Amino acid sequence: MIRAFGILNTNIPEDHKMMYGMAFPGDYLISPDGIVRDKRFLPSYEYRASAAALVMRNVHGASGTNSVEIDAGVFGATVSLSSDRCFPGQELATALRIRLKPGWHIYGKPLPPSYRPTELIFESPIVGEQSIDLPAAQPILLQALGETLPVYEGEVSATGRLGIKWSPPMPAKFLEAFGKTIAPGHYKIAGKLRFQACSDTVCEPPQEIGFELPLELEAGVPPAPRKAG
């Protein structure tokens, strides 16, 4: 099956008895009619996408089960994670939906240093890699400023990824010594939504709104014990 899908990990030599025959890490999304709707391969084994993340990225209108609402005055926003629980080393999908009031806009990239682009940032000791794919902003001539700048108006939707750090398979005493232990339990993933909102007549100063999302980090399943002999 691995050969049929063309995902045999050719970096592993054939004489490696323990590892040869493994697939490159990745996921296929297959519809009930047997059609491959999406495929995604990963650069390493450190982060693996969860099923909830695949659904949220590929199913139109799907939203995460773990969301927080933000009221910025001139717009409302929803920040979501694809799940409220995962294992160390799993990758969650993130989503951002902004609903601007008529007559207001926020900025995209690239921007002069005197303006702040819209950014979504997660901050937590258990967060590893992260990204958010905002759509291309629309260049608009702003008469009051006499400049053409990239802006978002109306509704803005974006998706991204959030990798939860993975604990290497080492004895606990060594992990604790190096500060790399990620213990199961309840965490709060902090985040910041950064932006600058303007209208045709008013340009507010750059702002940053903080939020938190709960995340239950579950213990990994231990390997089956080896048989004697």
Strands (E) located in 82-176:
85-86, 90-100, 105-107, 119-123, 127-133, 138-142, 147-152, 155-164
The highest-confidence range among 29-33, 72-76, 80-84, by mean pLDDT, is 72-76
Domain locations along the chain: 1-41, 47-217
Average pLDDT, the chain: 84
pLDDT, position 177: 47
Poorest-confidence range of 2-6, 165-169, 222-226?
A: 222-226
Task: Note the pLDDT of residue 97.
Answer: 94
- Contact criterion met (CB below 8 Å) for 160 and 120: yes
Tokens of 18: 């323990």
- What top-level class would CATH report for the domain 47-217? mainly beta
Task: Decide if pLDDT at 149 tops 70.
Answer: yes
CB count in 10 Å sphere of residue 64: 22
Give 166-180 as a DSSP string.
---SS-HHHHHHTT-
55 versus 138: the higher-pLDDT residue is 138
Give phi and psi for 175, each to the nearest 5: -60, -45
Query: What percent of the chain clears pLDDT 70, i.e. is strictly above it?
Result: 83
Q: Is the pLDDT of residue 175 over 50?
A: no
- Note the pLDDT of residue 130: 93
